[in-house]
Structure 1
């Protein structure tokens, strides 16, 4: 019997540390390279973000912790108020 070293990649969620498992067999999936792993988990609705972010891979779990991180990644809500229009607080937008 020969013993040899073989590197593999296992994808885990940066929030809850859950491992990506095959939807049919529920076994942990081992990938031969990082690019294949990223493509594979994207097919099952995992989010793979930019490499420079501290929270890079997020599973599709829908709980408060996951929603909070995703909300911080979203851009701010646009302000849609026309000059002269009164906002919900009763303040009129001045024309500039």
Structure 2
């Protein structure tokens, strides 16, 4: 029997390090390429970020560690101050 080398991809959450398991068989899923791995785990509810990022996959857990990582990915909230409007501290913006 010949021995051959075959590369497979396993998706792992960058927050909790859990591996993606096939929902039907509950075994660790192996993928032949990155694109199919991204599409399948995204369809199952995982957050998949752009490829150049070192941290790309976040599973569906909703604990404080996962929420903190997702919050860090969000852009800062815009600050809107209309000229002449009182700020929250009570001073007027000119």
TM-score, normalised with respect to structure 1: 0.86
1:2 is displaced (CA, Å) by 4.0
Secondary structure of the residue aligned to 1:41 is helix
**Matched residue, 2:19:** 19
Aligned counterpart, 1:37? 37
Paired residue total: 94
Counterpart residue number, 2:73: 73
Give distance in 2, aligned partners of 1:37 and 1:7: 13
Separation (CA, whole Å) in 2 of partners of 1:47 and 1:71: 13
RMSD of the TM alignment (CA)?
Answer: 1.4
Which consecutive residues of structure 2, in runs of 5 or more, have no partner in the other structure? none
Map 1:57-68; keep pairs closer than 5 Å. 57-68=57-68
SS of equivalent to 2:15: coil
Alpha-carbon deviations, 1:14-52, whole Å to 9, x = none? 111100011222111111111100111000111111222
Structure 1 gap segments, 5+ residues each: none
Q: What whole-Å deviation, never above 9, does each CA across 1:42-81 have from its counterpart, x for those lacking one?
A: 0011111122223111111111111111111111101122
* Greater mean alpha carbon deviation, residues 54-63 or residues 37-46: 54-63
Secondary structure (helix, strand or coil) at the match of 2:44 reads coil
Deviation >4 Å, runs of 4+: none
